[in-house]
Amino acid sequence: MDFALVFVQMLNGLQLGLLLFLVASGLTLVFGILDFVNLAHGSLYMLGAFVCASLTFLTGNFLIAIALALPVMAVIGWGIERVVVRQLYRRDHLDQVLGSFGLLLVFDVAVHLIWGPAGIAIPLPAWLDTHIGLAEDVVIPVYRLLIIGTGLAVAALLFWLVHHTRFGMLIRAGASDRTMAGALGIDITRLFTLVFALGAALAGLAGMLVAPITEASIGMGNSVIITAFVVIVVGGIGSMKGAFIGAMIIGLIDTLGRSFIDDGFRLIMGTAAAETAGPAVSAMLIYLLMAVILALRPQGLFPPSGR
């Protein structure tokens, strides 16, 4: 097997994993701490992409647009929590699923009304819209490296936030025993709003980062949300470390599966059969992994401690 190709595919897997982590981290925070099943998390990812697209055309610079769009997404998250999500905390999970599914439909239609049915491609500055050769056979788009860098930086920032700051301590306290945390004088309501806004900004950031590769389009969040749920189930619901490692595993398995599985199949079956089976199996791989994890270790690989 070609070493350069494997290396490039590892980088591609890493990049996919980091994007998934940004979505899954918000999802796991909201699910783990607020105990709220947020199907509309993918809508925040989509909104992030569209808001960023509009701001890019307004300001003429993608990076400035991201800097402006992040607080916008946090404010949108804050608004959603105050208006809708807050009413659902005391309900059971089915009501939450129905409520957030309703939100998802509302956002899809709202985006259709505001931005129209066509997707929006986001232009990148010239220095990002090119590629570099890391070695003779290893050519990679600069923008993919930017995603990897941003993803790692945000992951580091989140770990620092959760494990070494007062806000993080409150988050962890709220997660392990919300009644006790409230009794000790922590404003749980405000904490929850902040966590939800943080999750919205993270999902939005993932959408903004992916939009210049694909484009901002309606329903783009609905596919990523499924994969993000797979990530947090594999990693352990409510665990930031689990979300990170789960996202890396899913990103690598998905990418490497797409790249090499049909070659592998060709060794054991005919070319025609491998060409049919390869894409089918590679699309299933991450769900197979989830099924195995659920059977052997239902709490996930890294369940949060203290629960």
Partner 1 sequence: MKKYAMAALAVSMLVEPLAAESVKIGFVTTLTTGAAAIGNDMKDAATLAVSHMGGRMGDREVEIIFADDGFRPEIGKQVTDRLVKQDNVDFVAGYIWSHVLLASRKSVLDAGKFLISSNAGPSAVAGKLCHRNFFSTSWQNDQTPMAMGEVLNRQGVKSLYIMAPNYAAGKNMVTGIERTFMGEIRGKDLTKWGADAQLDFSAELAKARASGADGLFVFYPGAAATAFIRQYTQAGLKDTLPLYSVFTVNALTLPGLQAANFDSVLGSRMTQSWDPTLDNPANRRFVSDYRETFGRVPSFYAAQSYDALMLIRAAVEAVGGDLSDQDAVRAALKAANYDSVRGRYTYGTNHMPVQNFYLREVVADAGGTWTTRVVATVYENHVDPYADDCRM
| Cβ 64 to partner 1 shortest distance, Å | 17
Q: Rule CB under 8 A: which of 215-244 touch partner 1?
A: 215, 217-220, 222-223, 226
Backbone dihedral angles phi then psi of residue 105, each to the nearest 5 degrees: -65, -40
Stretch that binds partner 1, among 21-29, 80-88, 132-140, 299-307 (CB under 8 A): 132-140
**Alpha-carbon span 212 to 15, nearest angstrom:** 14
- The smaller minimum CB distance to partner 1, of residues 79 and 141, is found at 141
Stretch that binds partner 1, among 12-20, 65-73, 82-90, 151-159 (CB under 8 A): 12-20
Among 15, 43, 96, 150, binds partner 1 (CB under 8 A): 15
- The smaller minimum CB distance to partner 1, of residues 93 and 112, is found at 112
Any residues with CB less than 8 A from the CB of 133 and at least 6 apart, and which? 139
Contact (Cβ atoms closer than 8 angstroms) between residue 117 and residue 50 = no
Contact (Cβ atoms closer than 8 angstroms) between residue 9 and residue 255 = yes
Closest by CA position to 250, among listed 232, 236, 265, 264: 232
Q: Rule CB under 8 A: which of 276-295 touch partner 1?
A: 278-280, 283
The type of residue at 222 is: N
Q: Rule CB under 8 A: which of 55-94 touch partner 1?
A: 57
Q: What are the DSSP calls for 13-60, one per residue?
A: HHHHHHHHHHHHHHHHHHHHHH----TTHHHHHHHHHHHHHHHHHHHS
Any residues with CB less than 8 A from the CB of 164 and at least 6 apart, and which? none
Contact (Cβ atoms closer than 8 angstroms) between residue 114 and residue 76 = no
Beta bridge partners, 120, equal 216
Residue 172 token pair: 């962890």
| Cβ 192 to partner 1 shortest distance, Å | 30
Residue 297 token pair: 């270790």
| Cβ 202 to partner 1 shortest distance, Å | 19
Size of the site for partner 1 (CB under 8 A): 51
Q: Is 119 in the site for partner 1 (CB under 8 A)?
A: yes
- The smaller minimum CB distance to partner 1, of residues 39 and 195, is found at 39
Among 94, 117, 267, 296, binds partner 1 (CB under 8 A): 117
Q: Rule CB under 8 A: which of 194-213 touch partner 1?
A: 210, 212-213
Among 91, 93, 112, 297, binds partner 1 (CB under 8 A): 112
Q: Is 137 helix (H, G, I), strand (E, B) or coil?
A: coil
User: Which residues contact partner 1 (rule: CB under 8 A)?
Assistant: 2, 4-5, 8-9, 12-13, 15-16, 57, 108, 112, 116-123, 129-131, 137, 139-144, 210, 212-215, 217-220, 222-223, 226, 255-256, 258-259, 275, 278-280, 283
